[in-house]
A and B are shown apart, each in its own frame.
Chain A
Amino acid sequence: MNRALVPLVVSDLIEGRPVRWVPTNRLVGDYDGRERTLQIFNADPRDQRRLLDEIDKQRGPLEEAAGGPLVIIFHSVKQSTERYADFVRYFVRPRGIEMPRAVALSPETCVDAEDEGGPHRRPSAVAA
């Protein structure tokens, strides 16, 4: 796992809540772990203990990727809505989904198509 992946993995652990590294221009104060500070949004106080327990299950690999112990800042739903609405609204958490293999042509058996209007690849004559 690399550092860029940490927020996405944490988000996965806590039911898809938006997560990010604190942007460097928003870091306040000088403390150990500044660069390892994660913001977690839509996390009300009553949920925070449970969310930390979920994060703890993967804390080892997460902290290895982060380069040291994580510092976590929770933001309640109200605070997330009032102060971080843009980030929360536009947060995207990619997740793998199943797709029928037949829909995704195998590159090993296809060639590019002449028609530039698409589709742009077709099974090769050899494969067909």
Chain B
Amino acid sequence: MYLTAQHVRSRAGEDDYQSYLHLHNFPGSEAFPKDPLTVPQSHPGLMVSKRLRLKPGGNGVLSYLDIVAHDAWWTQACPPGSSSSTEWWRQTLEPIGDLMEGKSVPWTVEAGEVFVIFNAGALMSHVSEYKDLLGVALGLWDEWRARSAGR
């Protein structure tokens, strides 16, 4: 599973938050690689959902967040009794912003079996940008989860 969100800006100065969800344990997808950190650039898996407004291709990237995990771990790591896996992941991953505050980017964080990579321009507020991107990414995950459950 590869869930990513990026903050982009067009040449005309228009901003967008793009998000994509990829799965590895899915018909037609490549297998999850041995090194999870190679997923974003080399083994993204099969793209199954996206949300974006600006047409991709050549927009400047201001910041990005990559969340990488085995599909099964991401979907099953939520404790019984939690209101939703999305909410549980939000509570689990949101403190990373505070934990890494003041540290230089890129932030690479291991959270159990999940890897989180965040990078942003030097002049941005990293903690708030991280939280914004996390919200965008988990929003896409929640949408996909709801759609899958309805099938």
Asked whether any CB of chain B lies closer than 8 Å to the CB of A29, the reply is no
**Residue of B at shortest CB range from A102?**
B41
The reply to whether A94 and B93 form a contact with Cβ atoms under 8 Å apart is yes
**Given A92-B92, A99-B108, A121-B6, are A112 and B119 also a contact pair (CB < 8 Å)?**
no
The reply to whether A111 and B61 form a contact with Cβ atoms under 8 Å apart is yes
Docked complex Cα distance between A76 and B56 (Å): 53
Docked complex Cα distance between A89 and B82 (Å): 14
Asked whether any CB of chain B lies closer than 8 Å to the CB of A22, the reply is no
Docked complex Cα distance between A24 and B18 (Å): 37
The reply to whether B50 and A116 form a contact with Cβ atoms under 8 Å apart is yes
The reply to whether A112 and B79 form a contact with Cβ atoms under 8 Å apart is no
The reply to whether B100 and A8 form a contact with Cβ atoms under 8 Å apart is no
The reply to whether B116 and A94 form a contact with Cβ atoms under 8 Å apart is yes
**Given A110-B61, A114-B56, A116-B56, are A92 and B41 also a contact pair (CB < 8 Å)?**
no
Give every chain B residue within 8 A of A114 (Cβ-Cβ). Answer: 56-58
Instruction: Give the residues from 63 to 108 in chain B that come closer than 8 angstroms, CB to CB, to chain A.
Output: 63-64, 77-81, 92-96, 98-100, 103, 106-108
Give every chain A residue within 8 A of B100 (Cβ-Cβ). Answer: 96
**Residue of A at shortest CB range from B81?**
A86
Asked whether any CB of chain B lies closer than 8 Å to the CB of A93, the reply is yes
The reply to whether B44 and A117 form a contact with Cβ atoms under 8 Å apart is yes
